[in-house]
Amino acid sequence: MRLRTPFALLGAALLVLVGPPLLTAGTGSDTGTAIPGLRLMVPNTPGGGYDITARTAAKNAEEAGLTGDVEVFNLPGAGGTVGLTRLVGERGNGRLAMSMGLGVVGAVHTNKTPRTLADTTSIARLTEEQDIVVVGKDSPYRTIQDLLSAWRKDPGKLPVGGGSSPGGPDHLAPMLMAQAAGIAPKDVNYVPFDGGGELLASILGNKVGFGVSGVGEYLDQIKAGSCASSPSPARSGSPASTPPRSARPVSTPSSPTGAASSPRPASPTPSARSSSPS
């Protein structure tokens, strides 16, 4: 995941802000270059794409001297809508921002939350990446053909894990994959997790037949050989393009993923999921 400049990193970290501009009384208010006491909320569990993105952006912004210490904290729940509700509830707090992506967009729709992204202010788009199909190193599926064959035989008995609520990118990707494989999407046994960090434990423990997540979230596990995936055909030059020898090729759906600012309903910026450095 590439963050081109430290300045872009800071802007990317401020994905969602409620209230006035990011200028507050105190250090940096004269120049607008620093935000004292900035807090960056992650609306799902540690270890997922939103979390990795937020912590990477905060670290780089601090190291570049663009701001003081940034507090990154997690407030998971309901696909990110618990965090969204908190954010909207702190209208006027110019020191609070939230990292999010398309998964929250889907969760708002699915959960029918009273607070929506129309109640927030978009700040910056950060990244975009591919979703990948991932299995644990002890998975019986050694090729994509193995996996698809088992999936076609009985879709309901092969649970598919994703780090987003229905309507989010990790849900949409396996539905598109199923459709392309001749499986009715309604027959897919999709198991939602609150972020990629929570999903990872089930992948490693073979609690799901396979998982769908962003490249950046599981790149370290793929390199270490604890997970297996295949290169993304749409990004043959990416770091995940050549799997390590200990990882077996499996597959990737072609739908892109990304980290983005909260879209207004009329013009949703992200084409897919948030995050990792999403």
CA 208 remoteness from chain centre? 19
| DSSP β-bridge partners for residue 39 | 71, 96
Report the pLDDT averaged over residues 227-239: 45
Q: Does the structure show a pLDDT above 80 at 255? A: no
* Burial of 185 (C-beta count, 10 Å sphere; 0-12/13-18/19+): middle
- The residue type found at 201 is A
Helices (H), the chain: 6-13, 49-63, 81-89, 102-111, 144-153, 169-180, 196-204, 215-224
Instruction: Report the predicted TM-score, pTM, of the whole model to 2 decimal places.
Output: 0.61
Among candidate residues 238, 205, 243, the one with its CA nearest the CA of residue 224: 243
Q: List where CATH 3.40.190.10 sits in the chain.
A: 130-258
Q: Does the structure show a pLDDT above 50 at 118? A: yes
Span 130-258 CATH architecture: 3-Layer(aba) Sandwich (3.40)
The model's pLDDT over 151-173, given as tens digits with 9 standing for 90+, comes to: 999 999 999 999 888 888 899 99
Among candidate residues 179, 161, 171, the one with its CA nearest the CA of residue 257: 171
Tokens 């297996």 correspond to 228
Q: Which DSSP string corresponds to 177-228?
A: HHHHTT--GGG--EEE-SSHHHHHHHHHTT-SSEEEEEHHHHHHHHHHTSEE
- Strand bridging mode 39-42 / 71-74: parallel
- Among 65-74, 115-124, 225-234, 239-248, which stretch is predicted with the lowest mean pLDDT? 239-248
The mean pLDDT value of the chain amounts to: 73
| DSSP β-bridge partners for residue 259 | 127
- Among 59-63, 168-172, 210-214, 230-234, which stretch is predicted with the lowest mean pLDDT? 230-234
